[in-house]
Amino acid sequence: MDKKYSVAILGATGNVGRLILEILEQRNFPYSSIKLLASPRSVGQKVISPKGHEYIVELACPSAFDGVDMVFASAGSAVSKELAPEIIKRGGVIIDNSSAFRMESGVPLVVPQVNADDIKNHKGIIANPNCSTAPLVLVLKPLDERFGIKRVVVSTYQSVSGAGKSAMDELTTASRKLLQNPEPALSSDEHKYEAFVHPIAFNLIPQIDVFTENGYTKEEMKLINESRKMLHRPDLAITCTAVRVPVYISHSESVNVEFEQDVSLEDIRSVMESTPDLVLEDNPSQNQYPRPAQVAGKDPVFVGRLREDESRANSFNFWLVSDNLRIGAALNAVRIGEALVSQLQKVSA
């Protein structure tokens, strides 16, 4: 009989934590038990899973990880840094959705379809990449293997759910206020906003996270550095501009890729069509291309607007959309867990 694993979800009451629970059930993950852990303000909450199982949220403290084999963590960097040593000390593995460990040497940063073999090198921590990096590398990896990528230029259009439930609530509240009384709100910053540095309703904010000394934001540097790490291309020429947009769920990305060798549009299309977990939706004559609202709640990465860059040889543009809460967070974390289980079973066989 295949072994089953004791699982804990750290940050279980947040957007991603709740979705991890749902996906664990959907995909029949081999768990023997699931423990929901959160901060003191959530302790005692009752959570009913999609399959009708009832869970009571417990306090996220060191003793809560006794006997736990695998922890799916989505409670933020500070919490992960505090509790990861306790999880490891008790023999567990933490699959961490925060940025706390992503760029640490010795910590695998993983999208299983891209670099599952890196999991073998874990020392108790496996990092889940940024929500805009995960779908990007899933598309870039097979293209790089076939044609050799020379340069990548990315502009992201990231939904508010990437900033948490409070950001989604703020978009709703601010949008209602603007619809009721648009002129004063549009002409001033008097209306309250807390989740972002500027109002997000009917607006775009070309800043996600804080700026660094080089003029890029931390979010932009995450995509750059994480892509290099997962593709095993430390010197890859890649640049990014990250923009927050008033969309609830799904991140979109405009991508320009230049290749080392002569490549045709048909070559690129063929690779995309044969890549698992990628859907090419590209029929301009019928106005068909991926849109955030259409993609929300779905597992694949969707790609469209595929075309040659007429300004530069062997360069192509495409438009990428994925559900950031799934492929960019919860689903990828569970897939990491599945890949870890597969490797553990091979070792014990």
Q: What is the pLDDT of residue 2?
A: 77
Q: Count other Cβ atoms within 10 Å, centred on residue 243.
A: 16
Amino acid occupying residue 151 = R
Q: What is the pLDDT of residue 184?
A: 58
CATH 3.30.360.10 intervals, the chain: 133-159+204-323
| Closest residue by Cα to residue 144 from 231, 222, 227 | 231
Decide if domain 133-159+204-323 falls under CATH 3.40.50.720: no
Strand ranges of the sheet holding 93-96, from the earlier edge strand across to the other edge = 58-59, 31-38, 5-10, 70-73, 93-96, 125-127
CA-CA distance, 45 to 58, in Å (whole number)? 8
Residue 14 and residue 74 in contact, taking contact as beta carbons nearer than 8 Å: yes
Report, as an integer, the average pLDDT of 234-249. 98
191 is catalytic: no
Q: Is pLDDT above 60 for 302? A: yes
> Residues of the chain with pLDDT > 90: what percent?
90
Amino acid occupying residue 323 = D
Q: Count other Cβ atoms within 10 Å, centred on residue 82.
A: 14
Q: What is the pLDDT of residue 308?
A: 98
Residue 24 and residue 34 in contact, taking contact as beta carbons nearer than 8 Å: yes
Residue 13 and residue 45 in contact, taking contact as beta carbons nearer than 8 Å: yes
pLDDT bracket for residue 190 (50, 70, 90): very low
Mean pLDDT taken over the chain: 95
Q: Is pLDDT above 70 for 104? A: yes
Q: What is the pLDDT of residue 132?
A: 98
Phi and psi at residue 266, in whole multiples of 5°? -65, -35
Q: What is the pLDDT of residue 238?
A: 98
pLDDT bracket for residue 349 (50, 70, 90): low
Higher pLDDT among residues 199 and 148, named by residue: 148
Q: What is the pLDDT of residue 87?
A: 98
Amino acid occupying residue 299 = D
Strands (E), the chain: 5-10, 31-38, 46-48, 54-56, 58-59, 70-73, 93-96, 125-127, 149-158, 237-244, 251-259, 278-280, 301-308, 315-322
In this prediction the pTM is 0.94
Tokens 């999880």 identify what position?
87
* H/E element, 294: helix 292-295
Higher pLDDT among residues 110 and 187, named by residue: 110
Decide if domain 5-129+329-348 falls under CATH 3.40.50.720: yes
CA-CA distance, 59 to 64, in Å (whole number)? 7
CA-CA distance, 216 to 220, in Å (whole number)? 6
CA-CA distance, 159 to 329, in Å (whole number)? 13
Amino acid occupying residue 179 = L
CA-CA distance, 36 to 47, in Å (whole number)? 9
Catalytically annotated residue among 53, 61, 122, 131 = 131
pLDDT bracket for residue 189 (50, 70, 90): low
CATH 3.40.50.720 intervals, the chain: 5-129+329-348
Q: What is the pLDDT of residue 188?
A: 47
Amino acid occupying residue 338 = E
131 is catalytic: yes
Catalytically annotated residue among 122, 191, 198, 251 = 251
Q: Is pLDDT above 90 for 1? A: no
- Sequence-distant contacts of 343-346: CB under 8 A, at least 24 apart: 343/119, 343/120, 344/3, 345/2, 345/3
